[in-house]
Amino acid sequence: MSVSRKEVEYVASLARLDLLPEEKESITQQFNVILDYIQRLKELNLSGVEPTTHVQQLKNVFREDRSEEKGRELLPEVLEEAPDSARGLFKVPPVIEEES
Partner 1 sequence: MSHEYEIIIGLEVHAELQTKSKIFCSCPNSFGQKPNTNVCPVCLGLPGSLPVFNESALDLALKAALALNCEISTFSRFDRKNYFYPDLPKAYQISQYDFPVARNGYLDVVKEGETIRRIRIDRLHLEEDAGKLQHDPSGSSSYVDFNRCGVPLMEIVSAPDLRSPEEARLYLESLKRILLYTGTSDCKMEEGSLRCDANISLRPVGSKEFGAKVEIKNMNSFKAVQKGLEYEVYRQEKLLREGERVYQETRRWFEEQGITLEMRGKEEEKDYRYFPEPDLPPLNITAERVRKIRELLPELPVQRASRYIEEYQLTPYQAEVITSSQGLADFFEETLKGYRDAQKVSNWLLGDVLKLVNEQGGEIGVLSFQPVHLAELLSLLDEGVISGRTAKEVLEETFQTGKAPREVVQAKGLVQISDEKSLLNVIDKVLAENKGAVEDYTSGNKKALAFLVGSTMKHTKGQANPQLVQQLLRQRLDG
Partner 2 sequence: MDYYKMSAAEAAGALQNKEVTSQELTASVLRRIGEVEEEIQGFITLLDENETLLEAEKIDKARASGESLSLLAGVPMALKDNLCTRGIPTTCASKILRKYRPPYDAHVVEKLKETGTVLVGKANLDEFAMGSSTENSAYYTTRNPWDTTRVPGGSSGGSAALVAAGEVFFALGSDTGGSVRQPASLCGVVGLKPTYGLVSRYGLIAFASSLDQIGPLTRDIRDCALVMDVIAGHDPRDSTSVPREKENYTDYLGRDVKGLKVALPRDYFEEGINAEVKKVVMEAVRKCSGLGMEIEEVSMPYTSCALPAYYLVATAEASSNLARYDGVQYGYRAAEAKNLLSLYKKTRNEGFGPEVKRRIMLGTYSLSSGYYDAYYLQSLKARTLIREDFQKVFENYDFIVTPTSPTVAFKAGEKTDDPLTMYLSDICTITANLAGVPAISIPCGFVDGMPVGLQVLGRPFDEGRIFQFCYALESLLGVRNQLPEVNVKRGG
- Spatial distance between the Cα atoms of 31 and 97, rounded to a whole number of angstroms: 29
List 58, 69, 86, 87, residue binding partner 2 (CB under 8 A): 58
- Spatial distance between the Cα atoms of 90 and 93, rounded to a whole number of angstroms: 10
- Spatial distance between the Cα atoms of 81 and 75, rounded to a whole number of angstroms: 10
Which residue number, 26 or 79, has a Cβ lying nearer to partner 1?
79
- Spatial distance between the Cα atoms of 54 and 71, rounded to a whole number of angstroms: 32
Contact between 94 and partner 1 by CB under 8 A: the answer reads yes
Lay out the site mask for partner 1 across 23-62 (x = CB under 8 A, - = otherwise): ------------------------------xx-x-xxxxx
Contact between 66 and partner 2 by CB under 8 A: the answer reads no
Q: At what angle do helices 21-38 and 5-14 cross, to 10 degrees?
A: 100
- Spatial distance between the Cα atoms of 11 and 96, rounded to a whole number of angstroms: 21
Q: Which residues bind partner 2 (CB under 8 A)?
A: 3, 7-8, 10-12, 14-20, 23, 27, 30-31, 33-34, 37-42, 44, 46, 49-56, 58, 61, 63, 74, 77-78, 80-84, 90, 92-98, 100
